Every structure is written in structure tokens, then in C-alpha cells.
Homo-oligomer: A and B are copies of this chain.
Amino acid sequence: MGMIGGSQEAFIGAVHRRGSQLDGEIELVCGAFSSSAEKSKATGEALYLPENRVYGSYEEMILKEKELPEGERMDFVSIVTPNHVHFPAAKMALENGFHVVCDKPATLNLAEAKELKKIIEKSGLIFALTHNYTAYPMVKEAKHLVDSGQLGEIRKIIVEYPQGWLIDLVEATGQKQAAWRTDPARCGAAGAIGDIGTHCENLIEYITGLHIKELCADLTIFVEGRMLDDDGNILIHYDNGAKGILHCSQICNGEENDFNFRIYGSKAGITWHQMEPNTMVFRTRDEGARIIRTAVGQLSPAANAHTRQPAGHPEGYVETFANIYRNFAFALRARWEGKAQDPLYDFPGIDEGIMGMAFIENVVRSAQDNTNKWTKFEL
């Protein structure tokens, strides 16, 4: 693996490194960790990489690595930069024969995402998108419960992602995370909606398989001086007739990262909170509630395949990245061994990326339209 972005001061780079290292399936062999060659070098040193495998730019890395003998050169790149670099970096990697793991959202806008899909298809290479939250064991179990009909017909979906870290103009203080996430040039057309609203969209689609037919969005910038939405509330009509509420925010004072869902069907309802990810509650009117827990009782093969510890030994955020990286490694190995990919070890790809970018654009379009109630979801 060669990493693009993820210098020492970045948040998500370290997460990707830890996630990719956890299972011993992947080795970090090189990196272009920053647009600053100096920072890249310092990060490479801290990571014990040999000097000649730390590059000043991703372009340099791709070209130089390509020249190395197979077995020595990196097999794939991991792109963990701000959003605006995702597309050019992925494009160049793919066009030079490297598989890609890319942080979400896929690209800066929908057009890029569609273009990227074409490039991937043309390359015949593997592309993984780290919509990590779908890799929790309890999310796998939720999907299983829906797929196996235990919820009945889905009627109502509430998906929430309240955070509170941007209650004031943090981006003006030089905090790097806040700075690029609130800058349209590096982040795209939406703030909270792009950063965390896309996780909401992805999670629900992953679990239920439902698509958004139309939506009605209300986006707000609460903090003066901010350039992008820090709060979004959306009513949703799903294609099966289910009704949805999706809201996300960065100004819910005191909330940490309370991503959660409630999905109600004609037979049962389920509830899950990312901050206590190993617990899900399954409810019915007539028989009360069951607590479903990671590694307890008879869970689905999918849940078990993404669980590492016995019951009561908490798993967390880093394991979600590890699950995607491990599954990606399995896919690579299968390809090398001429085998089919095992669907049990799934991971998000460019289709999820396109859907996420479409979600952002449809939401922004709806939010800007203060007369029409319902905005048809266009892909």
C-alpha cells in the first residue's frame, strides 16, 4: 500500500494506517503524505519508511513505484486527502495500473464520480470507498434482518448524525480538520451534508436497499462567517413508499459523533447507535425487545465475519476501517489467485460513491428551492 495524504497532523490518515495494519494483511510500503514535500518526508520517517519510498507528490509516487519490480512496488494506493484531490489521484493511480482505496466522499462532485466510474471500469482494477460505518458487525446484522424479512415491509426510517464540534468558527482558528471541511474548493458543494450526511444516505441504502425517490431539504449555516451548511434536515420519500427523516449537524452542542438509525417495518423495528456500536435493539409491539450484541448468540455470517473479539470485548471505530481494508485485501488476493470475490467480505465501491455525490447535489438543489416541496432524486 502506498498512501496519498495522511501527514502526521491529519486525522483520517492515521485511521487508515491503523485500520489497514490491524490484521496483518497489508503493509505500508510508501507514501506521498502531503502536498508539502517536507511534511511528507517527516511523516515517512515517523512511520519507519525507507527514505526512497517517501515521495513529494502523489504523481511522483505513482510514476516511481510503477518502475519498481512487481512484489516490491506498492499494489494499491490509499487516498486520504481532502476531497478535491480524490479524483485526480484515483484517476492517475488507476491509469497506471494501481488499485485504489479512497476515503469518502468519492470525489468533489457528481460529474467527477461518474467519470471515475468509467475510468475504473476501463482499468479493470479494484476500487474501494471507505464508507466505514457500514462495516460494523451490527450494521451487517441489520442488513441481514432486513434482507431475511424479519422487519417486514419497511415503513419509516430515521437516520441522524448530530455532531457539535463546529458550534463556532473553528475554521478561523487554524484547525486543519475544520478548515478544509468548510471550504467549498476542497470539500465540495456541501458541508455537514457532504461530510456526514453522506454517511446517513449510505448506511440506509446499504441496510435496506431502498432508494430515495424524492426529498425535501432544509440546510442552514448557523455560524456566521461559515461558507457551507453546518446543519441539514431532510424529509425523504423512498421508492417503496417508506417515509424518512435524515438529519445531520455540526452545531448540536455537546454531541460527539452520534450517528444512529431507527428502521421500522411492519413486523419489527431496529435501533442502533454508532457510539455504542456493539449493541442493536430489535423491537416488536407484541413480543417486546431483544438486545442484539456483537458476538452474542446466533448472529448472521456477515456479522460474525466482521467481528474479531468474543462477547463483551468492545470493538470500535478502527475495526470498521480494518474490515474494509481486510476485505479489499481478500478481493485482491482472490483476483491474484483467480478466484471470485466472496460476497461475505463486501466493501463499498464507486456505485456507492456516485450515490453519495448524487445525494449531495440533490439535497443542495432541494435546499436552494424554497418553493417546490419535493425534489425528485436525480442520478
Contacts and interface: CB of A to CB of B under 8 A. Distances in A.
Interface in A244-299: 244-245, 247, 249, 251-258, 262, 264-269, 274-278, 281-293, 295-298
A229 to B, nearest CB: 11
A18 B28 contact: no
Given A308-B14, A315-B318, A372-B373, A216 B235 contact: yes
Nearest to A299: B288
A314 B316 contact: yes
A281 B358 CA distance: 36
Interface in A12-59: 14-15, 17-18, 21-24, 28, 47-48
Interface in A320-349: none
A131 to B, nearest CB: 15
A252 B370 CA distance: 30
A167 interface: yes
Given A245-B247, A314-B317, A372-B373, A264 B256 contact: no
A378 interface: no
Contacts of A284: 253-254
Contacts of A17: 24
A173 interface: no
A318 B319 contact: yes
A97 to B, nearest CB: 23
Chain B CB within 10 Å, residue with most, of A244, A254, A275, A312: A254
A165 interface: yes
A144 interface: no
B243 A285 contact: no
Contacts of A317: 309, 313-315
A241 to B, nearest CB: 9
Contacts of A233: 235, 243-245
Contact of A254 (B164, B278, B283): B283
Chain B CB within 10 Å, residue with most, of A152, A156, A284: A156
B281 A311 contact: no
A201 interface: no
A300 interface: no
A167 B253 CA distance: 34
A165 B295 CA distance: 12
Contact of A319 (B295, B298, B316, B374): B316
A171 B57 CA distance: 56
Contact of A374 (B167, B220, B370): B370
Contact of A293 (B167, B289, B318): B289
Nearest to A257: B312
A205 interface: no
Nearest to A165: B285
6 contacts: A21-B24, A156-B231, A252-B262, A253-B266, A254-B269, A275-B314
Interface of A: 11, 14-15, 17-18, 21-24, 28, 47-48, 151-152, 155-156, 158, 160, 162-165, 167, 216, 218, 220, 222, 231, 233, 235, 237, 243-245, 247, 249, 251-258, 262, 264-269, 274-278, 281-293, 295-298, 308-319, 369-374
Top 8 A-B pairs ranked by shortest CB distance? A254-B283, A257-B312, A256-B312, A314-B316, A316-B316, A256-B311, A288-B297, A313-B317
